[in-house]
Structure 1
Amino acid sequence: MDEIVTFGGRVTLGQDRQADDTERFLEMVGDRVRAARNRRSISRKTLSEISGVSQRYLAQLESGTGNISILLLRRVAEALDHKIEWLVGEEDPYTSDAVAMMSLYRQATGEQRMRVLEILDPDNPHLRRSRRLAFIGLRGAGKSTIGRLAADRLKLPFLELNEEIEQASGMPVNEVIALYGQEGYRRLEKQSVERIAATYDSIVLAVAGGIVSEPETFNYLLRHYHTIWLKARPEEHMGRVRAQGDERPMAGNPAAMDELRNILMSREALYARAEAQIDTSGRGLPETLDAVLDLIEKRGFLRA
């Protein structure tokens, strides 16, 4: 702490500064209370009757000598039809452009607020993601099933990324890969993700499990969609795929489960980059859907 030594003893400068700051603060609060009362054209007696704070205490408050409690000050603010922060904040609501803008912002529609934020904070990730949701995870995670049900409950359109790729290419995904290779498929995948983001502000999208292996596409997805990783134990992934009547993962491949575990292990850190995750292991469909909808609500993914 700063201090000086004189013949009369020590004088602590820090304490003097603190006292000066306190005095200035109390004077500021007093000035604002008095100005607010004058704007409402009410006497100190009337303010006392409305707030329940004595006239003597109000006089001390307005003169800057009354160190009022926060609860009493709230009663004074309410009697003046003020927010308490207007009396104690750094910005005076009647002279500050910032406070005036805040008031207008509160009255604005969701669309107007978004426009303002786009101008003031164009790099805000929440703005880029808008109300777009994307479910990621391994095959058998429930992305399509949960995604479609969630979209129905949320009254949003639902899209399967692979179906969009097929529509854009005019052929099934397996033919795209056979004809153009993995590189051609990934190129169409990226174009589809970008096209959907440019077309829809509100959408639920289910993507293929391998999208996380393509850094540029996955980074774009993370920036422009609220991503939710639906995770499960390898055995459940495999069981769900087989329950859908697809025996291909096991056909002629006794090591299929080990391969699935290895794929999950290699992608786990990538999937974990999602904005949120839900473990569906041991959960039925209704329970999983409720958990997903609850997460979307709590995280404000669809908030305007």
Structure 2
Amino acid sequence: MPDVITRSEPAATVISRLATRVREARKAQGLPRRALSERSGVSPRYLAQLEAGEGNISIALLQRVSDALDVKIEHLLSESAPWDMEVQRVAMLYRHAPQDVQQQVRALLAPQNPAVLRAGRICLIGLRGAGKSTLGKLAGEALRLPFVELNNEIESHTGMPLSEVMAFYGQDGYRGLEAEAVARIVERHDRMILAVAGGLVAEERTYAQVLERFHTVWLRTSPAEHMLRVRAQGDLRPMKGNPEAMEQLKALLRTRTPLYERAEAQVDTSNRTVPASLNDLMKVIASKRFLDVPAA
């Protein structure tokens, strides 16, 4: 660490520098002088003198001020401190920022090579019945990667089944939980396969996060197969009491197709067996080198 004060440095220079740095550190935190006084136990009048370069503060009182500002005392005095002071202020602002702001800061500071941001993470998108759960689980086992279904992550986090989550939080609340779940998964896993609900792509911010942090594969099939597979899973809701369900499904697919097409790759599971579709997915992962880690 550099000397806090050089032997040849005039006292007036040290006092002036100290005044400037205390004043700047206080303003960076948006602290009124009275608030700093309450934090440090140093009177507002004495702080005013200190910031004006008129105070001859003792080391004991200066330590109180530096503690209250969350700044090291040597950074208030050292000749080489301006850059360090800025780092200290930024660190302090980050520590006290809301979680969503911290996440934005991390995203800005992360490597900007898209391949680096996504490397090792694969996300399967598409309408329900395309095969995301089945193929995701099998691909995860074959590649020895964790497989996570986003809805299961939400259920685990909230401690409720999805039906209760929707009833309790509503559609908007669910979409917020969905975005938070994606962020948690990114923090937790560097290499994994994720399957998300078909409607996630309609949430612009959440989908942008997925596209940024995952290699995306659109699993697609025909509307008829979508419907058959959902019914085969024991869910008769798409057709029950709704003779226009197929037309609605086709309309939904037309609406979402431009969003799904933003994926890096596609796998068509129409009229394909599960082993054949799994083979197609594995070929895409290998040919696109989704699991490679490129240089930053």
By how many angstroms is 1:248 displaced?
Answer: 1.3
Classify the secondary structure of the residue corresponding to 1:253.
Answer: coil
Taking structure 1 as the reference length, what is the TM-score of the superposition? 0.60
User: Separation in 2 of the partners of 1:181 and 1:275?
Assistant: 31
Q: Could you say which residue in structure 2 is the equivalent of 1:263?
A: 252
Query: Aligned letter for 2:273?
Result: G
Q: Could you say which residue in structure 1 is the equivalent of 2:137?
A: 148
Could you say what the CA RMSD is over the residues aligned between the two structures, in angstroms? 1.3
User: Structure 1: which 5+ residue stretches go unaligned?
Assistant: 1-120
Classify the secondary structure of the residue corresponding to 1:263.
Answer: helix
User: Separation in 2 of the partners of 1:183 and 1:202?
Assistant: 29
Q: Could you say which residue in structure 1 is the equivalent of 2:198?
A: 209
Residues 51-86 of structure 1, C-alpha deviations (whole Å, 9 max, x = no match): xxxxxxxxxxxxxxxxxxxxxxxxxxxxxxxxxxxx
Q: Could you say which residue in structure 2 is the equivalent of 1:173?
A: 162
Classify the secondary structure of the residue corresponding to 1:222.
Answer: helix
2:251 counterpart of 1:250:
no
User: Separation in 2 of the partners of 1:180 and 1:283?
Assistant: 38
Q: Could you say which residue in structure 2 is the equivalent of 1:239?
A: 228
By how many angstroms is 1:157 displaced?
Answer: 0.6
- 2:264 equivalent among 271, 275, 287: 275
User: Separation in 1 of the partners of 2:175 and 2:233?
Assistant: 26
User: Separation in 1 of the partners of 2:120 and 2:183?
Assistant: 15
Classify the secondary structure of the residue corresponding to 2:242.
Answer: coil
Q: Could you say which residue in structure 2 is the equivalent of 1:225?
A: 214
Structure of higher CA gyration radius:
1
User: Separation in 2 of the partners of 1:289 and 1:181?
Assistant: 35
By how many angstroms is 1:212 displaced?
Answer: 0.4
2:158 counterpart of 1:164:
no
Query: Aligned letter for 1:207?
Result: V
Higher-RCO chain (CA-CA 8 Å, sequence separation at least 6)? 2
Classify the secondary structure of the residue corresponding to 2:194.
Answer: strand
Query: Aligned letter for 1:147?
Result: G
Q: Could you say which residue in structure 2 is the equivalent of 1:196?
A: 185
By how many angstroms is 1:175 displaced?
Answer: 1.2
By how many angstroms is 1:179 displaced?
Answer: 1.2
Classify the secondary structure of the residue corresponding to 1:252.
Answer: coil
Residues 148-177 of structure 1, C-alpha deviations (whole Å, 9 max, x = no match): 000000000111100000111111112111
Query: Aligned letter for 1:150?
Result: A
User: Structure 2: which 5+ residue stretches go unaligned?
Assistant: 1-109
4+ runs of 1 displaced by more than 2 Å?
Answer: none
Q: Could you say which residue in structure 1 is the equivalent of 2:118?
A: 129
By how many angstroms is 1:262 displaced?
Answer: 0.6
Q: Could you say which residue in structure 1 is the equivalent of 2:89?
A: none
1:20-169 mapped onto 2 (5 Å cutoff): 122-169=111-158
Aligned residues: 185
By how many angstroms is 1:247 displaced?
Answer: 1.0
Percentage of pairs with the same residue: 53
By how many angstroms is 1:235 displaced?
Answer: 0.3
Residues 176-229 of structure 1, C-alpha deviations (whole Å, 9 max, x = no match): 111111110000000000110111000111100000010000000000001000
